[in-house]
Amino acid sequence: MSEKDLILTEIANRYNPVGFGEGEVAKEDLEAIMKAATMAPSAFGEQPWRFFIATEEEDREMLFSYMTPGNALWAKNAPVLIAVAGYIYGTGDRTFNYWSGFDSGAAWGYLALEAMRRGYAVGFIGGFDRNDIKREFVLDDEDFYDFYAIIAIGKPSENEPKEPIKAKALAEVLLQKKK
């Protein structure tokens, strides 16, 4: 395999954890991880992503309470939880920002890559009450926000099964042009 064929290690070795090991996320690591998230590209430079970072027990418990029980269980040892939302209206003219989810997805992708580069495991939780959770936050208008996912970050657990990513073949995900 040539150098050109190699995929970024963090991408190639990523997996959704089933738990976390002992240990905290260092403050400077968390700062860098969040910085990476905010450096993602966005349509019109809107930077529609919004984050709530839970490191305190009370805040983590609050986020757990909105997750499905199974998710709260595997994520329970994660020292950091981050709720990712998007501001879905353009800040300029307040028209619908079609790219809010797309851009927020790029932001959590960047966040995850930086976290993994720093030796952490990163898990994604879409199984939570994305409407009711809004009542926990100061929002100018609840309808202007979508909550997409909660991200769990922590040290990898020792017995994590590290199977290779089951990525679909490129041919399976290519759109075909009409004849």
Our finding on whether 149 is near ligand FMN (CB under 6 A) is yes
Our finding on whether 16 is near ligand FMN (CB under 6 A) is yes
Please say whether the dihedral angle defined by the alpha carbons of residues 159, 84, 62 and 65, taken in this order, is positive or negative: negative
Q: Segment near ligand FMN (CB under 6 A), from 19-27, 28-36, 118-126, 153-161?
A: 118-126
At 71, give phi and psi (nearest 5°). Answer: -70, -40
Binding mask 34-63 for ligand FMN (x = CB under 6 A): ------------------------------
| CB contact at 8 A, 52 and 83 | yes
Residue carrying the six token digits 């028209």? 95
Of 166 and 178, which CB lies nearer to ligand FMN in the complex structure? 166
Q: Which two tokens stand for residue 43?
A: 């349509």
Q: Which two tokens stand for residue 63?
A: 């986020």
Q: Which residues are at the interface with ligand FMN (CB under 6 A)?
A: 15-16, 71, 124-127, 149, 165
